[in-house]
Structure 1
Amino acid sequence: MLRWTIIFIIIAIIAGVLGFGGIAGASAGIAKIIFYIFLVLFVLSLLKGLVK
């Protein structure tokens, strides 16, 4: 999941450099959402491991 976040950030940077603001904003938003989902799942995984 972290891999997808990095891919969308790279797409956002390239689109921003080339002047495609809408695509850059959308890619950055998607990257943010995926990153937060990754963080939540990571924390839940850590807590599950500590409880076990």
Structure 2
Amino acid sequence: MQNFRVTWTQDGQPKRSGVAYDLPSAEHRKVRLEQETGVADVEIVPEKPGV
């Protein structure tokens, strides 16, 4: 199974999700971040196994 992390910038600071998600969950988290925090540069990035 491929895992993904969510990254974004908030208040000039780069942020990264503390957990890895499957793709549908990562997409859901991206939408929630955009709606709840107003950040617009949310990206879903593949996570290498074992990281």
Superposed pair shares fold, TM > 0.5: no
TM-score when scaled to structure 2? 0.37
TM-score when scaled to structure 1? 0.36
Larger RCO (CA under 8 A, 6+ residues apart): 2
Name the structure with the higher strand share. Answer: 2
Name the structure with the higher helix share. Answer: 1
Larger Rg: 1
